[in-house]
């Protein structure tokens, strides 16, 4: 299967290792991975902050950049949800009548479990790991237990359960800027719950949330690392 990697802005700018991990993982599973160089932002921030014309241009560009691939895989539940849920209505809001179906974008764990039928990717990671279900993965995509099924199959990995795991971390894109006091309170609760589970590592499928959580953990000098799920699944135990 010819798979295109949609790396997403946050990963491209701040966490390039996550994109490389997705490529290593999919190639290890026998798939050719392409990286369309014309890809840009999915338009989520533009759409949610009122820049609708700009969002429509990005939606059109996205469809053109990824045309012709069997599947599109991204290590960002937030961006996958934007393409699948919002691109059609963004284009309709811009006055387009014949809006094509959304491109076949899959968040990584969806692709592994639902498309490839894989839960054991042959990974090893001998650490105690807590999984944070991000809002977009849990609510917009309905990720369910897919990430946990993949983690349970990793050699040496011990799962640590976070109390109130499905509560928001407080990031929410521009929410963290516009509602800083609420954002800080939410991440304080999240970090308190994480630390009560005593993990070595916290993982998720959105690096934006992990950056927010990781910053709070670092300020408390907790010693707990944050790591995208893709980097655990692609790894060999580091």
For the CA atoms of the chain, what is the radius of gyration?
18
> What does the pLDDT read at residue 238?
55
Q: What is the pTM of this model?
A: 0.92
Question: 73-87: per-residue pLDDT in tens?
Answer: 999 999 999 999 999
Which two tokens mark 93? 């809001």
Q: Are 103 and 83 in contact (CB under 8 A)?
A: yes
Residue 237 Rama label (left phi>0; alpha psi -120 to 50; beta): left
Checking if the pLDDT of 117 tops 60, the result is: yes
Domain ranges of the chain: 2-115, 128-233
Q: Where does residue 221 rank: exposed (0-12), middle (13-18), buried (19+ CB within 10 A)?
A: exposed
In the numeric block, the tokens 């299967």 are attached to: 1
Distance CA 223, CA 238 (A): 16
**CATH class of residue range 128-233:** alpha beta
Mean pLDDT of the 34-57 span = 93
- Crossing angle of the two packed helices 180-197 and 207-219, in degrees rounded to 10: 80
Instruction: Report how far residue 196's alpha carbon sits from residue 165's, in angstroms, rounded to the nearest whole number.
Output: 12
Which comes out higher in pLDDT, residue 90 or 186? Answer: 90
């Amino acid at each position: 299967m010819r798979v295109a990697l949609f790396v997403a802005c946050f990963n491209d700018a701040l966490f390039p290792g996550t994109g490389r991990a997705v490529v290593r993982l999919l190639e290890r599973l026998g798939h050719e991975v392409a990286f369309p160089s014309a890809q840009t932002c999915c338009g989520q921030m533009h759409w949610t902050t009122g820049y609708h014309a700009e969002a429509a241009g990005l939606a059109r560009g996205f469809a053109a950049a990824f045309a012709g691939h069997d599947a599109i895989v991204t290590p960002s539940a937030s961006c996958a949800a934007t393409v699948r849920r919002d691109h059609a209505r963004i284009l309709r809001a811009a006055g387009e009548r014949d809006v094509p179906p959304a491109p076949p974008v899959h968040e990584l764990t969806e692709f592994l479990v639902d498309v490839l039928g894989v839960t054991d990717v042959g990974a090893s990671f001998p650490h105690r790991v807590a999984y944070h279900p991000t809002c977009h993965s849990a609510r917009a995509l309905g990720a369910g237990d897919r990430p946990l099924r993949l983690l349970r199959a990793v050699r040496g990995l011990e799962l640590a359960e976070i109390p109130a795991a499905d509560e928001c971390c407080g990031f929410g894109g521009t929410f963290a800027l516009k509602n800083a006091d609420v954002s800080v309170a939410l991440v304080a609760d999240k970090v308190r719950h994480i630390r009560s589970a005593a993990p070595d590592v916290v993982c998720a499928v959105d690096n934006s949330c992990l950056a927010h959580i990781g910053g709070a953990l670092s300020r408390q000098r907790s010693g707990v690392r944050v790591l995208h799920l893709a980097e655990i699944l692609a790894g060999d135990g580091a």
